Amino acid sequence: MNIHEYQAKEILRREGVPIPPGDVATTPQEAENIAKQYGGTVVVKAQVHAGGRGKAGGVKLAKSPSEAREFASKILGMQIKGLTVQKVLVTPAADIASEAYVGIILDRASKKPVFMVSPAGGIDIEEVAATTPEKILKLPIDTRYGLQPFQATRLGFFLFDDIKKVRQAAKIMQQLYAGFMKAGCSLAEINPLVATPAGDVVALDAKMVIDDNELDRHPDIAALRDESAEAPSEVQARNANLTFIKLDGDVGCVVNGAGLAMATMDLVKYYGGEPANFLDIGGSSNPEKVVNALKIITADPNVKAILFNIFGGITRTDDVANGIVTATKQNPLKVPIVIRLTGTNEEIAMKILQENGFSASSDMDEAVKKAVALAKEAA
Ligand code: GDP
Ligand code: MN
């Protein structure tokens, strides 16, 4: 689960990370009022679940409250990476002498949280990682012992020369690590962590991604979910108990089981297509799930063909067939559909589909090839 910058900052403030104050506005007038309270220059920042807001024009320095209002009216409603900005954070501007990057990610390979820090922070950290990886220090943490003081100091020295700044940075590493662990993060990031001309080390941006599997243990964090800021298809899918991830291709996939879903996407790619999504309707038989899955997939204008790939074990293929019939009666399809099903109650399923004008096969390769070809034809 993604949370907003202002929410991540709140979590980190509680751990003691030095962060300028801030308040959230949903209208230009509110932004002006907040700017008035703080006085001086403020930063107006788009609150969306996307990086690169600065480059997209979603972060602006306003010298007066009326300018804050003007920028807020431009940023509110703006699209950043397909997401509409509905809130801005208004925060007093800091003076910047240098910008560093500090992040912790949960690394699957080492099964550990790994610190990644760089003195070359700011908006081009991806570029730094690609072209000058030596400017990034990676440090895995053994969760049995946590971040040790000597490790925090080492990270601090990688960012700053001046011992006063190193000490401040080391403390912030500990606080970030504590926030990462307590909130159940898979990622926590401060970029930029700046040094001011006066020598203070301050966090000006914060990003946290919460591991969905941790949400049951952290109801306070789960409550931070902002559905209005999420992709509508992902919200619908979650509410329908489907595992769904939107992708950029044009072959809409409806599959049962995560493994088969991955194999299906691989095969789509193998035959030269691009999957529009990952979707797992799960193991249980429930025609309703199929109806919901089709609703979500057909709402995506990129989808040019739909591919069902069902291996009936616990899932009864006749239930899936009934789901397809019901769903397409409710909302007639505008794109071609290719159905592959095999396993439990296969004969019954095939009969249901045939009676309702669908053709289906039990051969996975054949079905995938056909779906890819149909999507190509329509493109
Ligand atoms: P991002 O582009 O989505 O990561 O948004 P950031 O919050 O990191 O802002 C992008 C850039 O805006 C930062 O790297 C800074 O250069 C600049 N910026 C953000 N806050 C301030 C501030 O308080 N003062 C100044 N001078 N620049 C800021
Ligand atoms: Mn940033």
Report the CATH number that the domain containing residue 78 is assigned in CATH: 3.30.1490.20
Same domain membership, residue 208 and residue 110:
yes
Cα 204 to averaged position of ligand 2 atoms, centre (Å):
8
Same domain membership, residue 363 and residue 264:
yes
Torsion angle of C-alpha atoms 179, 183, 186, 192, degrees rounded to 10: -40
Ligand sitting nearest the alpha carbon of 53: 1
CATH number, position 104: 3.30.470.20
List of E strands, 108-235: 112-118, 137-140, 185-195, 201-203, 207-210
Domain end residue (candidates: 173, 198, 222)? 222
- Residue 104 β-bridge partners: 115, 188
Residue 93 Cβ < 6 Å to ligand 1: yes
User: 197 in a domain, yes or no?
Assistant: yes
pTM above 0.85, yes or no: no
Query: Residue 98: what pLDDT?
Result: 97
Ligand sitting nearest the alpha carbon of 204: 1
DSSP letter at 90 equals E
Same domain membership, residue 366 and residue 246:
yes
Q: What is the mean pLDDT of each run of 10 residues along the chain (379 residues)?
A: 97 98 98 97 96 93 98 96 92 97 95 97 88 95 97 98 98 98 97 98 98 94 93 87 90 95 97 95 80 91 96 92 93 95 96 96 97 94
Query: Residue 285: what pLDDT?
Result: 66
Q: Which mutation among 6, 12, 43 tests ligand 1's pocket best, with the greatest number of atoms within 8 A of CB?
A: 43
Residue 188 and residue 207 in contact, taking contact as beta carbons nearer than 8 Å: yes
* Residue identifier of the C-alpha nearest atom 23 of ligand 1: 93
Q: Would you state the structure tokens that stand for residue 219, as one six-digit string?
A: 């109801």
Query: Residue 288: what pLDDT?
Result: 85
What residues flank ion ligand 2 with Cβ within 5 A? Answer: 191, 205
Spatial CA neighbour of 164 closest among 201, 197, 194: 201
Query: Residue 124: what pLDDT?
Result: 82
Query: Residue 81: what pLDDT?
Result: 84
Q: Domain range spanning residue 41? A: 21-92
Domain end residue (candidates: 177, 195, 222)? 222
Q: Which residues are catalytic?
A: 101, 189
Domain count, the chain: 3
User: 357 in a domain, yes or no?
Assistant: yes
Same domain membership, residue 326 and residue 266:
yes
Cα 284 to averaged position of ligand 1 atoms, centre (Å):
47
Q: Which atom of ligand 1 is nearest to the CA of 45?
A: 7
